[in-house]
């Protein structure tokens, strides 16, 4: 079975860890719109694509016994390197040296023994732009502070999706969208024009993994229907929505089929990889 996860950040990393238990043919299509923290500093310094979400997702599919995997998330705490991770610096170094984002990610994946593939959602770094009640807001870190987001887009508006990302989506049997920050992670990857078109045209079963709770302020006060409406407004139409049985969304209705399952960890704050694996496997049968 060919499976794909689309999004960014910790949520998509969890999805990838779940999918690798279901199939060895796994692809992560990952946003490169981040501009905060270590990633933001490196983007400002070297004018390269965001690598933080790529780093997290590479780690999710990497060989756990690989020495590089063990140190990939190590974060320096002193001097000019303070706040930077080994993975971010390695990725940025390769991109700066080669000028090729996709090739750099593939090289790191090969060295780390990644099962499947991690592909950036766009061939170059992009800026996330949100249309809000107050006007346009630019940059992921600023967008995530807004509670009145209507639509998002990426700039440049003609940013191209890698062929590998489009082909993975087109040939997939199953696609997980989310979980993660609705606008600044999930849709940040989905609104790259080539990704949007591939998601619309694929015959794969598309599953939206709903978040466990609202994200303040980005989705403050959002119902399950509000989350789904946002996806639909951006041309993303899942076949089914997976909702954790302990989530506030479990008692809510929406315009798409909803499947309730036990998905969260003990603290109810993050999705449990094993539980998500079981739910995905049930949906795939």
The model's pLDDT over 134-151, given as tens digits with 9 standing for 90+, comes to: 899 999 999 999 999 999
Nearest alpha-carbon partner for 200 in 162, 238, 241, 256:
238
Backbone angles phi, psi at 186, to 5 degrees: -65, -60
Residues of the chain with pLDDT under 70: none
Q: What does DSSP assign to residue 27?
A: E
Q: Which pLDDT does position 152 carry in this prediction?
A: 96
Tell the residue number behind the tokens 């591939």, with chain if given: 198
Helices (H), the chain: 9-19, 37-46, 52-61, 67-71, 86-98, 101-111, 140-143, 163-171, 187-190, 193-201, 224-233, 273-284
Structurally, the chain folds into a number of domains equal to 1
Whichever domain contains 64, its CATH number is: 3.40.50.10680
Across the chain, how many H-helices and E-strands are there?
A: 12, 10
Quick one: what percent of the chain has pLDDT higher than 90? 80
Q: Which pLDDT does position 265 carry in this prediction?
A: 84
> What residues have CB less than 8 Å from 252, skipping those under 6 apart?
223, 224, 225
Range of the domain at 103: 2-284
């Amino acid at each position: 079975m060919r499976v794909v996860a689309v999004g960014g950040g910790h949520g998509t990393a969890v999805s990838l860890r779940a999918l690798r238990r279901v199939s060895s043919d796994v692809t992560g299509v990952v946003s490169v719109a981040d501009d905060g923290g270590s990633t933001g500093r490196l983007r400002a310094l070297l004018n390269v694509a965001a690598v933080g979400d790529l780093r997290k997702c590479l780690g999710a599919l990497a060989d756990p016994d690989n020495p590089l995997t063990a140190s990939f998330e190590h974060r320096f705490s002193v001097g000019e390197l303070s706040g930077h991770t080994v993975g971010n610096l390695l990725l940025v170094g390769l991109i700066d040296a080669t000028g090729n984002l996709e090739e750099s990610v593939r090289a790191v994946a090969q060295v780390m023994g990644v099962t499947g593939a991690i592909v950036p959602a766009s061939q170059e770094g992009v800026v996330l732009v949100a249309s809000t009640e107050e006007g346009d807001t630019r940059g992921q870190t600023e967008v995530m502070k807004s509670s009145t987001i209507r639509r998002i887009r990426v700039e440049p508006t003609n940013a191209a999706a890698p062929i590998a990302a489009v082909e993975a989506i087109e040939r997939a049997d199953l696609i997980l969208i989310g979980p993660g920050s609705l606008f600044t992670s999930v849709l940040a990857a989905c609104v790259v024009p080539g990704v949007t078109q591939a998601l619309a045209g694929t015959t794969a079963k598309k599953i939206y993994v709903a978040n466990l709770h609202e994200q303040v302020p980005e989705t403050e006060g959002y119902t399950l229907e509000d989350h789904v409406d946002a996806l639909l407004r951006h041309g993303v139409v899942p076949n089914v929505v997976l909702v954790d049985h302990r989530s506030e969304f479990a008692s809510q209705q929406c315009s798409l089929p909803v499947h309730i399952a036990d998905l969260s960890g003990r603290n109810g704050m993050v999705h449990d990889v094993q539980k998500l694996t079981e739910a995905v496997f049930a949906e795939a049968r």
